Amino acid sequence: MSGLVAPLVTLAVFAVPLAGLPWLASRVRRRGVGAGLLGPIEEIWGHPGAHRARFEIEVRQERQAEAPFTG
């Protein structure tokens, strides 16, 4: 029995955070925040095209914010 405890604890240490990542991703997407948190994870393991699209959106938002007021 004691030989089974160490592998189960190790499995739990890795499984709990990994199981929480999909929940975190859905929560961040709903709220529209956290690009800095999930961007690198999505770029490496997820969908690289989505990361590039997010980068383009950020660049466009910065350009709009820098436009001078002409009114």
pLDDT tens, position by position, for the chain (71 residues)? 678 998 899 999 999 888 888 888 788 777 766 666 666 776 677 776 776 777 787 788 777 666 566 65
What's the rounded Cα separation, in Å, for the pair 18 and 21? Answer: 5
**Would residue 71 count as lying in a domain?**
no
**Would residue 42 count as lying in a domain?**
yes
Six-digit token pair at 63? 């350009």
Residue 46 sits in which domain range? 2-66
Cβ pair 42, 51 in contact under 8 A: yes
Q: How far is CA 57 from the centre of its chain?
A: 16
**Reported pTM:** 0.37
| Structural domains counted in the chain | 1
**Nearest C-alpha neighbor of 41 from the set 31, 28, 32:** 28
**Would residue 11 count as lying in a domain?**
yes
